[in-house]
Amino acid sequence: MKLEFASQHLAIILTDQAHKLGLPLGVTKSCRDKLHAIMNASSELTLRNMRSLQYKKLEGSDLRQIRINDQYRVHFLLDDSTSPPTVTVTFIGDPH
């Protein structure tokens, strides 16, 4: 899948400047691993089958989410009409 970010601020998670997001180091590393799993997935079905991501579609919106850990989440939009499918990350953090 092709990975995009809704803002440049979120895109720094994949760089050595990720500390500027204010996320704990373990969360940053886990988030990078999960984003790489998304990039390597061929379709939404692949994401659903990866139980460790705890992938789900949020009710009442087009947003999807995966869990980074018990507290933190990655929210994203999925566009299946493109080839390869495009994932646009809209949120990384604690949704509570």
Cα separation, 13 vs 57, whole angstroms: 23
Cis peptide before 95 (omega within 30 of 0): no
Question: Full-prediction pTM beyond 0.75?
Answer: yes
Domains and CATH numbers, the chain: 2-93 (3.30.2310.20)
Ranges in the chain, pLDDT < 70: none
Q: What is the pLDDT of residue 96?
A: 84
Structure tokens that stand for 1 in this block: 């899948």
Q: What is the pLDDT of residue 37?
A: 94
